[in-house]
Structure formats: C-alpha cells, structure tokens
Structure 1
C-alpha cells in the first residue's frame, strides 16, 4: 500500500480513530487503526469492540492495499507535522513496517496483521431516518450533562433516545438522569423514525457523535436496531452497541403540579451561583435560594471557609420559600439555557424542582433539592 494524503485530511481521520481506541487494552490490535486504500480514497477504521468508526478521506493511491498501525502514534506524528504538508504512507508487504514521510521527516512504524483486526458484524436496522446535525446536536448536548457515572447503575450511563408522546404530538426525545438531576429534550419526529425502538446510547458514543455534528445543515443518516445504533455522514460512519438494559420510567419524577414560579435571567443567575459558591472548597456545597416578592437571595454558608450572599431581581409572586441545591447541578442546568430567561417551578423545599427555557416546553430539566 502506498498513499499520499494532505495533512488536514489525515489528521481529521486519525483524530477520530485515536479517540475511539482504548489506550490500555489486553488486545494489541485494538490500539491500531486499519487503513484500507482503494482507487481514489482511503478508509480509516478503528474500534474498541463496542464502537466502530469508519472515516473516508480523499487521497492519491499509488498502490492499493491495507495495513494496521498504532492510532495514537500516527495521530501524534500527523499532529506535529506542519500545516499543508503532503504525507506519504508506504506499507511494504514484505515487512511489518509502515513508512510515514512528509518533507524531510521520516518515521517507521510497526504494523500488526490486518487479518487480526476485528470488524463489527453487520446489523439489520429496524428503523432508518435522516435528521439535521443541528437537531441531533441539541438533543444530545442538552441532555448529556445528566448522564450517570455510577457503573453499578449501568442503564443510566447513557442517553435514552426514543419516540415519545408530548402535548405537540409524537416527538423524538432524549433523556438522561443520574438520580439527582434529569434532562428531557424533544425534537420534531423525523419521517421514518415512527417505529424506532428506544435505545440507550452510551456516554462514550455520545462524545464521539459530537464530532460529526459541526455542520448545522448536514444531514445525518440514523439507523437503529434493538442492539446497535449508527450515525453516518458522507465521510464518517459511527456504529455503536447500545446499553443492554431498561431505562427507568422517568415520567414519574417530572413534577406536574409545581405552583410556585420564578423567572430569572439565566446568565445572571449562573454567574451569581458561581460567585457565591466560590467560598466553598467543595463544589457540591449547597447553595440556598431564598425567594420573596420579586427578590431572590443566593447564599452559601461554609463553616470552614466563610459565607457569601448575593441578591438578584427576579419575577416571583408566590409565598416565601427557602430551598437548597448542589451548586454544580444548578450551574450545569443554567448553562443549558439558550434563551434569555430560565423559569423555575417549585412545590416545596423537599420536592423536585422543574426548570425550562422561558415558555419553551421542548427542553425540561429536573433537579433534586438538598437540605440547607
């Protein structure tokens, strides 16, 4: 195999590959990227056995063929090459060496047999549809912060993507929760997604998917089965196993009748929470919200380091209420708000609080209170 490829094209392909491979693994071939050259393009394939990414790149193919080489090492080499460089990869079939050349630089990398590279088996997808990158990015970006990191509750270690009923009809919905906070984001149901099975997309897959969604107008082809999900652009295909588990009935924890309504400028609120939480060395320190007529006082009392208080002008017309929250959770939820105002709906100091963006009900967040 012999190919010549622009540095930018090669860097994009190996960047995605090296982030998928496991740095520490007992199977050496899983640290490699499979490079396959045919006619005018080259494919770069990487996998950790749960996720597989295939990236196509235009290249000058002098000699067709395939080989595998360390994804991390190749990425580091390409990253350090000058912009605009033309990179030549030459794999001699008689040796286990790939030569990487760019200008006056030359590297020789060990290869592993391409026959040992595991290819994810093809799957029959029960649902196939297309959705704009902008829509998919919003669904996952606004929900992923609530993914649980507790391995014992593995079924919460991802985003639950499914078809759901809403006040506006059937929607494509993404939900994530860790038991302390919850995010529920809706989008218009794409044609062809009506019979899509609900799947839990793993945390790592959500991170890799984000790299495919930079072009707002790009169409992402989505394919879903009971065990796998695939996201594809013309150049990149990301295939992942889904989490084998049942996502809990999240509708039971979303409050339906929280009567006390607070409206506040989202950016001002987030900055104020961040400021008062500074006096605490622990980011999980509770921030107390004290609400009265059109007034909100945020306060932190940390016996070891001091206290802080800040007042905000808000829209609030209900009875006095004091409630505490984890400062980190408040900041994460407030940072999701794209509109000017955040609306909080309270019941009591011991009940879950609901938050949404202005009058928009397509994005709903729930956070559990703390004792203060």
Structure 2
C-alpha cells in the first residue's frame, strides 16, 4: 500500500475513529486502526467489538492495499505534523511495518495483518429512516446526562429510543433515567420509523454520536435491527450493538397530578443552587427549597462546615411547601433548559417533581426529592 493524503483530511478522519479504540486492550488487534484503499479514498475503521466506526478520507492512491497500525500512536504522530503537510503512508514488502513520511519526518510503525481485524457483522436491518442532525442532537443532548452509570442495572446504561403516539401524532422519543431523575425529549417521528423496535443505545455510542453531530444541516441515515444500530453522518459510519435488556415502564414515574406551580428565573436559580451548595462536602448534598408566596429560600446545612441560605423572587401561589433535592441534579436539569424561566410542578415534599422548559415543550424532566 502506498497513499498520499493531506494532513488535515487524515487528522480529521483519524480524530473520529481513534476515539473508539480503548487505551488498554488485552487483544492487540483492537488497539489498531484498519487502513484500506477504496476508490479514491483511504478508509479507516476502528472497533471495540461493541462499537465500530468507519470514515473515508480523500487520498492519492499510488498502490492499493490494506494493513492495521496502532490507532492512538498514528493519531498522535499526525497531530504533531506541521499544518499543510502531505503525508505518505506506505507498507514495506513484508507487510510487517508501515512508514509515515511527511517532509523530513519519517516514522515506522509495526503492523498486524488486516485479515485479523474483526468485523462487526450488522445482519439485516428492519427499519431505515433519515433524521436531521439537529433533531437527533436534541434527543441526545437533552437526555444523556440522566443515563445511569450503575453497571448492575445495565438496561439503564443508555438512551431508550422508541416511537409513541401522542394524541394524533406519532413521536420519536428518547428517555434516560438513573432512578433518581428522568429526562425525556421527543420530536415528530421521521418517515420510516413507524413500527421500529424500542432500542437502548449504549452510553459510549451516545458519547461518540454527540461529538459527530456538529453540523445541524446534515441528514443522518439511521438503520435499525433488534440488536444493532447503524448511523451514517456525512462520511462517517457508526455501527453499534444495542443494550440487550428491557427498559422499565418510565411512564409510571412521570406525575400527572402535580398542581403546585413554581416559575423561577433559570439562571438566577442555577447560580443560587451553586452558591449555597459550596458549603456542602460534596455536590450531592441536599438543597432545601422553602417555597412560599412570591419567593423561594434555598438552604444547605452541613454539620461539619456550616450552612448557607439564599432567597430568590419567584411566581408561586399555592400553599407553602418545603422540598429537598440533590444539588448536582438540580444544576444538571437547569443546564438543559433553553428558556429564561424554569417551571416546577409539585404534588408534595415526598413525590416526584416535574420540571418543564418554558421555551421548549418537547422536553420534560422528573426529579425525585430527598429527605432534608
């Protein structure tokens, strides 16, 4: 193999695919990126056996072929080459090493045969549809913070994506929960998604998707089966296994009868939560909200270091209520809201609280209170 590429094109593509590769691998080939020539492109592929990413970069191909080289090492080399450099990648006759040549710099990397590189076989996809990158980004960005990191409840370690009828409309809905909070976002279901299976997209795949959905005008091609999802975003193809589990019936925890409404300035509220939680030993300490007519008092009490209170004006006309929340969870939810105000709907101090975005009806959050 002998190919020549612009450094910027090679760096951009490697920047995407190398992230899939784990830093520590017991299987040596999984540390490598597969390089193959395809038409007028150099195609790069990396996998961790659960997630596979492929991207093609335009190249001048003098001799076709393929090999695998250490992904992070190649990325670091290309990253440190000067801007505008032309990079030549060429394998020796034995196929055991590859040279990276740019100007007067030459690197030799150990290769492993491309025949050893595992293929994440996708099987048959039952559903195919297109979605705007902007819409997919909304579904992911507004819910991913609530994904559970508790490995024992593996079925919560991702975003649950499914279609659901709301009134006369079919919606594509994303839900994530860790048992303490729940995030839900929805858009009108794109054509082709009707009857799709409910799927759980793993946390790592969600993280990679977030980084790829930078350009809002791009159309993303989505292919689904019961066990895999494949997304094509421009020149990048992401194939991932899905979490094999049943997502809980989240509808049961979304309250419907909460009638005590609090409307408060979102930025002032975030800043106040951040201020009073300074005295707690950890961000997870409860913040007590004492809500009365026209105001909210925030209080944190830490027996080891002291206490803090802060008062904010707010719109509230129901009977006074005192309720406690995890400070970090409050800040996470407030950070997702796009409107100037946040709307809280309470039932009582021990029941789940509903939080709505005054500027976007497509998203909704539920927070479980804490004892204070």
**TM-score, scaled to structure 1:** 0.98
Partner residue of 2:123? Answer: 123
Partner residue of 1:133? Answer: 133
Q: Which stretch has the larger CA shift, 277-286 or 159-168? A: 159-168
Partner residue of 1:282? Answer: 282
Partner residue of 1:41? Answer: 41
Asked whether 1:178 is paired with 2:165, we answer no
Asked whether 1:12 is paired with 2:12, we answer yes
Partner residue of 2:218? Answer: 218
Question: Is this contact kept in 1: 2:148–2:158, CA < 8 A?
Answer: yes
Asked whether 1:334 is paired with 2:334, we answer yes
Question: Is this contact kept in 2: 1:126–1:223, CA < 8 A?
Answer: yes
**SS in structure 2 opposite 1:112?**
coil
Question: Is this contact kept in 2: 1:38–1:61, CA < 8 A?
Answer: no
Partner residue of 2:242? Answer: 242
User: Could you tell me how far 1:254 is from its partner in structure 2?
Assistant: 0.3
**SS in structure 2 opposite 1:13?**
helix
User: Could you tell me how far 1:168 is from its partner in structure 2?
Assistant: 5.8
Q: Which stretch has the larger CA shift, 163-172 or 34-43? A: 163-172
Aligned partners of 2:29 and 2:110: how far apart in 1?
Answer: 12
User: Could you tell me how far 1:359 is from its partner in structure 2?
Assistant: 6.2
Aligned partners of 1:122 and 1:365: how far apart in 2?
Answer: 34
Partner residue of 1:252? Answer: 252
The runs of at least 4 consecutive aligned structure 1 residues that moved more than 6 Å come to: none
Q: Flag structure 1 segments of 5+ consecutive residues without an equivalent.
A: none
Quick one: structure 1 residues 344 and 71, their matched pair in 2 at CA, closer, same or farther if it must change by over 3 Å?
A: same
Question: Is this contact kept in 2: 1:39–1:64, CA < 8 A?
Answer: no
Aligned partners of 1:363 and 1:151: how far apart in 2?
Answer: 26
Question: Is this contact kept in 2: 1:172–1:189, CA < 8 A?
Answer: yes
Pairwise CA RMSD: 1.1
User: Could you tell me how far 1:211 is from its partner in structure 2?
Assistant: 2.3
Q: Deviations over 1:113-169 (max 9, x none)?
A: 110000111321111000000000010011000000010000000000000122462
Q: Deviations over 1:44-96 (max 9, x none)?
A: 00011110100011111111110100001011111112222211111123241
Q: Flag structure 2 segments of 5+ consecutive residues without an equivalent.
A: none
Partner residue of 1:227? Answer: 227
Q: How does 1:1-372 map to 2 (within 5 A)?
A: 1-167=1-167, 169-358=169-358, 360-372=360-372
Quick one: structure 1 residues 46 and 84, their matched pair in 2 at CA, closer, same or farther if it must change by over 3 Å?
A: same
**TM-score, scaled to structure 2:** 0.98
Aligned partners of 1:146 and 1:171: how far apart in 2?
Answer: 20
User: Could you tell me how far 1:108 is from its partner in structure 2?
Assistant: 0.6
Aligned partners of 1:323 and 1:234: how far apart in 2?
Answer: 47
